Amino acid sequence: MKLQLTLNGSQSEIDLLSPAPHARFRFDGEVERQAQVEIPEPGVYSILIDGRSYDARVEEQPEALVVVIDGYRFEIVARDPRRFSRSGAGRSGEGRQTVVAPMPGKIVRVLVSPGQEVAVNQGILVVEAMKMQNEMKAARAGKVVAISAREGSVVKAGEVLAVIE
């Protein structure tokens, strides 16, 4: 089984030649290696390679498979060969940008008004969630075309608070 992966943003390939418990694999075209694998509990992989012991914990998140080993976190997605780069997706230098609530919270302050020109990183509004205030900033320069947030109002995650063009 050969898998093309994007691993913490960089491209990798793993070829699983035989499954657990006596796994054989080839990573990024390196030499074939052996691993003795046990699964002591669901999602936990005890892996012995060349006498070294690793405890890998796998979490299924909707947007990525997350593997945690020794406190280090790896976000893994299947690589889509049809695209060569996703790095610029949705974040081009022009066009409409929406400011959305990252989590449910309360609008503490609105710092701009419709029609106002804003600079990159300029504060747009302040949202309070979990007792902390976060200033939402403009990702790039533009003109505020709409502000749907009102000071004191409670917003849901993903709600559009402002639109900048």
Partner 1 sequence: MFRKVLIANRGEIAVRVMRTCREMGITSVAVYSDADRTSLHVRMADEAEHVGPSPSAESYLRIDRIVDAAKKHGAEAIHPGYGFLSENADFAAACEASGIVFIGPSAASIRAMGSKTAARRIAIAAGTPVVPGTDHGVTLAGARDFAARHRYPILLKAVAGGGGKGMRRVDREADLEGALRDASSEAERSFNNSEVYVEKLIERPRHIEIQLFGDRHGNMIHLGERECSIQRRHQKVIEECPSPLVALHPEMRHAMGEAAIKAARAAGYYNAGTVEFLADADRNFYFLEMNTRLQVEHPVTELVTGLDLVRLQLEVAAGGRLPLTQDEVAWTGSAIECRIYAEDPYNNFLPFPGKLTRLDRPLGPGIRLDGCVYTGWTVPMEYDPLLAKLAVWAATREQATDRMLRALHEYDVGGIRTNIGFFRQILEDPEFRAANLHTGFIDDFFQRNTPPAPPAGLKAVAALAAALHARTEAKIPEPQAAPNRWLQAGRSDLLR
Please identify which residue in 22, 61, 117, 146 interacts with partner 1, judged by CB under 8 A.
61
User: Whose Cβ is closer to partner 1: residue 116's or residue 134's?
Assistant: 134
Q: List binders of partner 1 among 94-133 (CB under 8 A).
A: 99-100, 102-104, 121, 129-133
User: Whose Cβ is closer to partner 1: residue 21's or residue 114's?
Assistant: 21
Asked if 156 contacts 100 with a C-beta cutoff of 8 angstroms, the reply is no
Residue 78: which of 69, 68, 65, 91 has the closest Cα? 65
| Integer Cα distance of 126 and 137 in angstroms | 9
Rg (the chain; Cα; Å):
23
User: Whose Cβ is closer to partner 1: residue 8's or residue 117's?
Assistant: 8
Task: State the greatest distance between any 2 C-alpha atoms of the chain, in Å, as a whole number.
Answer: 65
Q: List binders of partner 1 among 126-145 (CB under 8 A).
A: 129-139
Question: Nearest distance from residue 22's CB to partner 1, in Å?
Answer: 12
Three-state SS for 29?
coil
Question: Residue 35 pairs with which residues in a beta bridge?
Answer: 23
Q: Under 8 Å CB-to-CB from 73, ≥6 apart: which residues?
A: 66, 67
| Integer Cα distance of 10 and 22 in angstroms | 28
Please identify which residue in 80, 117, 151, 165 interacts with partner 1, judged by CB under 8 A.
80
Q: Does 48 bind partner 1 (CB under 8 A)?
A: no
Question: Nearest distance from residue 114's CB to partner 1, in Å?
Answer: 19
Size of the site for partner 1 (CB under 8 A): 73
User: Whose Cβ is closer to partner 1: residue 62's or residue 115's?
Assistant: 62
User: Whose Cβ is closer to partner 1: residue 45's or residue 147's?
Assistant: 45
